[in-house]
A and B are shown apart, each in its own frame.
Chain A
């Protein structure tokens, strides 16, 4: 009997050993990554995309010349380096060798030129053409070097090339699908995953690209995205084990996930800065003392705690601290007495009556109530006007005549998708960007700021640019065209054991290095 047992045990051990060997030979068995998304994608041509969710899904299929890392630093991906001339009109870019698109087309200078030409061709009517309107032409220097020649100096060019729309699409796919409607359903890139199908409203599937140029990546065999618009349903899916990650996790549900021992969160700083824009053209509000008083009257910490569960940082400059060329400014301390004093000096001892416009989202209305209460304490009587997106588009962003703009205060946010100071400052603080041309809804105008923003673009010298941007930020901070609130963190919900799935500061989802422990 004992001998039988031992023989049986020997066999079992042998079998176990064989199994173990087999497992070792294939380092991991088929592993799927399942992600619940807050909406559905709109298509798979990044050149003709304007929403962050679609960019996120596309980032598994496509790669760009440059990209942002987790700290929002620009790193080369399909490029290996670049040189710029002094006045930032010519950028010579060296390309990575040995990279192929997933349809086996080689990636080279001709492929890069085809894509950049497409982005720059304003006649195509693609959503992101306007971002590349400064490109004059792209020259091929040799098989792996191109020169991008601009019509005017543009120091932020490399950051623009890191924008999620500036991807490299297979030239073969571009030739095979000349119609945009077809191309956006047949994406072919150099990324870690290949497109495997899209059932609108149900799922988007990507599978591993076996020829991916980064040795050993990706670690998962497929990624499936499930559009799940209702936030609590997204979290229920995570709790039930139907998905491995939810993008994004709203602040009010973070605790539910953190309390669950099987789940966790990935929390990263964001570069979206929230603000209370002040209509600088309105009488009373055109007085800098009044605007500074508002900055002292509102306690951003209370706002951050109530609306974002205290996850984030309060504003310390007119742009978020994760944005390139950020320069910290002295704090606007919460001080209702000082605020009342400033209002008295400006001749408003008996207060002001103002309209605060906001979206009709629950969390935005909640924020507006906080501002109403805090401004009320210094004698500013605020009425909150919630609006749907259509009404806001028409009455706020579409308003043609600045002088007749009706709003006094507007609660909103701005996220510079190129991750650096130009896109964080110019569209919202430059005089040329007054709505409806761009997004300076405060109708703020300071010629010195305009000059610095422009001068910073006209050089490729980072030290000179940093000096201009620091000066502009200090001046804007002083002028207080808005109440500077803060920069909430970006949060993703995850099952325990899943790593490297997180939100980049621009709110896009990163999953190309996802792996399970």
Chain B
């Protein structure tokens, strides 16, 4: 198990290396001129060229790439164009707000989604099923920014309990977490329902029932445990999605997280930050996938690796 985990960790290195080339190439291919944005809206050509030199963008591309890679290997992500702060510091400061928001959204939406899915599956074809799935479909189709704006306008402004935006105290998590989590809850509810129904049709569930096990044992131990593998995979994916920060929701709620940082950096063509962020997102997904794989073994002993 441990060796398997280590092997998988080592296997991430070539993936990350390939991704670093792709990320670098895509960013350089993007239309636009970071030097012009850096120098400002009314800068002369002289000033733009000076900025290009300051930023090191006048050097050949392979050199720029290898310099980036070399400092990356030493843990140095460079300096942002926008604020001249170390990139690691900027990303570090934005990571925690996104992590908190992701955890808060994940906790409620995973629980609510799975509970709703099991509830609907167990009342399959009845009005409760249609009601729950109707709710889930509206959760998926509701544009998150609109839900966010509604919450701000009709909850935050009139009652004054929750702040309209910003992240000063834990209470500020509530509205953005509701907004960000609603789509995840909806996806999880639909997914859980179908996974549960699939498992419920299996022979071993009928056997469990036949041998007279309590309803609770049948539902949670025999059906749910077997339905969990696809659900956990899906949860992992959703968590990765939540963790990379939501550009839209972080913008609507002025949330100082990774999504906000990403959009600010793209707007100002802050290449060192965009490169590092994309690499970070890829790493996070790889780590989450690894964690999910290892979790399979916990859930289902037959998947366990030696």
Contacts and interface: CB of A to CB of B under 8 A. Distances in A.
A229 interface: yes
Nearest to B257: A201
Given A130-B46, A180-B84, A398-B36, A200 B256 contact: yes
Contacts of A398: 33, 36
A112 B215 CA distance: 84
A131 B167 CA distance: 39
A237 to B, nearest CB: 5
Contacts of A130: 43-44, 46-47, 50
Given A130-B44, A228-B165, A437-B44, A389 B267 contact: yes
Contacts of B288: none
Interface string B93-125: 110010000000000000000000000000000
Interface string A213-227: 000000000000011
A400 B173 CA distance: 49
B42 A233 contact: no
Contacts of B264: 39-40
A232 B261 CA distance: 20
A125 B156 contact: no
Nearest to B167: A202
Interface string B56-97: 000000000000000000000001001111000010011001
A121 to B, nearest CB: 12
A127 B40 contact: yes
Contact of A393 (B33, B54, B83): B33
B260 interface: yes
A438 B160 CA distance: 49
Nearest to A181: B84
A202 B39 CA distance: 25
B83 A394 contact: no
Interface stretch (B178-186, B227-235, B246-254, B292-300): B246-254
B284 to A, nearest CB: 20
Interface string A162-206: 000000000000000000110011000000000000011111000
B256 A201 contact: yes
B275 interface: no
Given A127-B39, A200-B90, A236 B45 contact: no
Contacts, number: 141
Nearest to A202: B256
A236 B53 contact: no
A215 to B, nearest CB: 35
A50 interface: yes
A439 B50 contact: no
B37 A232 contact: no
A376 interface: no
Query: A201, A397, A414 — which one has the most chain B CB atoms within 10 A of its CB?
Result: A201
Contacts of A386: none
Contacts of B257: 201
Contacts of A415: 42
B36 A397 contact: yes
B161 to A, nearest CB: 10
B31 A391 contact: yes
A389 B54 CA distance: 22
A488 interface: no
Nearest to A185: B85
Given A397-B36, A398-B36, A226 B153 contact: no
A239 interface: yes
B48 to A, nearest CB: 8
Contacts of A199: 93, 256
B41 interface: yes
B11 interface: no
With most chain B CB atoms within 10 A of its CB, the pick from A43, A180, A236 is A236
Contacts of A242: 163-164, 166
A240 interface: yes
B93 A50 contact: no
B178 to A, nearest CB: 16
A493 interface: no
Nearest to A229: B251
A351 to B, nearest CB: 31
Contacts of B14: none
19 contacts: A125-B54, A127-B40, A201-B97, A201-B254, A201-B256, A202-B256, A226-B166, A228-B166, A233-B165, A233-B253, A236-B157, A239-B157, A240-B156, A390-B30, A390-B269, A398-B36, A423-B42, A427-B42, A436-B45
Interface of B: 30-33, 36-48, 50-51, 53-54, 79, 82-85, 90, 93-94, 97, 149, 152-153, 156-157, 160, 163-168, 251-254, 256-257, 260-261, 263-264, 267, 269
Given A200-B83, A398-B33, 16 more contacts: A42-B83, A51-B40, A199-B256, A201-B257, A201-B260, A202-B256, A233-B164, A233-B253, A236-B157, A240-B160, A241-B160, A389-B32, A389-B37, A389-B267, A427-B44, A437-B45
